[in-house]
A and B are shown apart, each in its own frame.
Chain A
């Protein structure tokens, strides 16, 4: 199962991130997970929100360049070696993770990690084969 992530282009200029978060706050959009990758010139903000369609619309209306990317939300045992195991499984099947970041909440006792993987279908197969749970949008929302 995959989840829709919103990515936003940001110049490295003072106050730009605040403008994004203010725009979302005004529209009552809640950020559930966040990652910011940057170079010296620009950054890309990646967020998981409660309402991705609405989020994309308001950001575009606000003049931001934004897009939707399908990512995977993986349950990770909240113990030493939990993440290592998942990466090992993916690595064994030559599935390359582009980037990953942690989700705010937990699912039962497990942590949740958001993974961006180019070959998403194969990654899902590999994870399933190894008994690793992935969560869909509804499951995330229910937490």
Chain B
């Protein structure tokens, strides 16, 4: 279901015209009102007069997360503080948080983007949305909330965690839509199973899963256990929160709401814009935001774009599900590896579940990657030989797919930290030691 056909099905020239006009206005505002951006533009010898169409975006400078942190808290404001109605921030786990300040018009855009998102998985005003994203400074909870309200659906703002209550609400209120991180959806399914509750039989229609990368095999697992249509959603606090891009029922990439959030993919080393199909770093410009607009933000997410038409009828560009992070990328003995690639391989091995952890260490100057995979009933055998075969099989498949030697180790179930939010997948002992030194 398409929420805003006027924009989501625009033909390419009309869309480019809208984007060009919006970019021109944005650059004009940023140049006049935000010293941070004016300085960057002056340094790049570019100004509002240089922006004649969306193609001119390539003349503008990039913005990095570190630069945004440097002007914490209010250095990115393009309006008076009295016009700001709501503030969110990134988690700040790796440093000062990035501030996203919204005007009433920004909240309106956010609601629109999230109404499009929830509609793409079939949400209507008749649905009950169990929103298990965290409410608070994190954008997930309120983003979904605003979108569901815009559609007119019933929102249950249960927020994250409290698994027992999540299950009770699912059962008693007969929620039809679930929104949470993909790993939490599996956590819920496991907990339900332990309670003897059939999560697949409760009437859930669709789930909107985001805030962490996941894979096609994890989708199979989720859809199998929860019996619903799963939709991958993409967004980030630095841009607006969720609502930047979402899958449609075709599951062939995420449609970017590019009339608001203009995407480019660049070579992270040179900054050159890459054509469709080539993997690189996603860069996003907010074309319509008033409070804290962002120019060519380097997301550090790795993906590629696809402008071909989609069977769902939307004409907006699609981005492939996030393949990894430029800063999550593991370099194992010189080979670039993304955890998502390892996950694909592990889940391709029969019986193995998506509970794994990667431990990178350096021994005698050589990187070693240990892949810990949780044991389960389907893989277990009373014969050591069979268990070792499972380990060797995963190692062989990892080598075949990624050309890296790994050491696979079966571990007991639930030994891998499975937080109620994002699963912790990588332990890099190499950096830990450097940090302590």
Contact = CB atoms under 8 A, between A and B. Distances in A.
Contacts of B375: 9, 42, 65
B414 interface: yes
Interface in A22-71: 37-39, 41-42, 44, 46, 63-67, 69
Nearest to A37: B384
11 contacts: A11-B412, A16-B412, A38-B384, A39-B387, A42-B409, A44-B383, A44-B384, A46-B382, A63-B412, A63-B414, A67-B377
Interface string A1-25: 0000101011100001000000000
The 9 tightest CB contacts between A and B, nearest first, are A7-B382, A69-B382, A11-B412, A65-B375, A65-B380, A9-B375, A37-B384, A41-B409, A9-B380
Contact of B377 (A11, A39, A65): A65
B382 A42 contact: no
A39 B382 CA distance: 13
A22 to B, nearest CB: 16
B409 A67 contact: no
Given A10-B412, A11-B415, A42-B410, A67 B382 contact: yes
Contacts of A93: none
Contact of A11 (B376, B383, B384, B411): B411
A98 B413 CA distance: 26
B382 A44 contact: yes
Contacts of B384: 37-39, 44
A41 B410 contact: yes
Interface residues of B, number: 17
B299 to A, nearest CB: 38
Given A9-B375, A41-B410, A67 B415 contact: no
Interface in B381-417: 381-384, 387-388, 409-415
B413 A63 contact: yes
Nearest to A16: B412
Give the secondary structure class of A's interface: strand
Nearest to A64: B412
A15 B376 CA distance: 20
A115 B270 CA distance: 65
A1 to B, nearest CB: 19
Interface of A: 5, 7, 9-11, 16, 37-39, 41-42, 44, 46, 63-67, 69, 98-99, 116
B295 to A, nearest CB: 50
A9 B383 contact: no
Given A65-B375, A65-B376, A99 B383 contact: yes
A3 to B, nearest CB: 13
A140 B50 CA distance: 91
Nearest to B385: A98
Contact of B387 (A5, A44, A67, A98): A44
A68 B282 CA distance: 51
A65 B382 CA distance: 11
A38 B382 CA distance: 11
Contacts of B377: 65, 67
Contacts of A9: 375, 380, 387, 410, 412
Contacts of B413: 63, 65
Nearest to B194: A61
Nearest to B391: A41
B410 to A, nearest CB: 6
Interface in B369-383: 375-377, 380-383
B266 to A, nearest CB: 42
A68 to B, nearest CB: 9
Contacts of B414: 63
Contacts of A16: 412
Nearest to A61: B194
A44 B376 CA distance: 13
Contacts of B380: 7, 9, 65-67
Contacts of A69: 382
A86 to B, nearest CB: 20
A21 to B, nearest CB: 16
Given A11-B415, A44-B381, 10 more contacts: A11-B412, A41-B409, A44-B382, A44-B384, A63-B413, A63-B414, A64-B412, A65-B412, A65-B413, A69-B382
Nearest to B383: A98
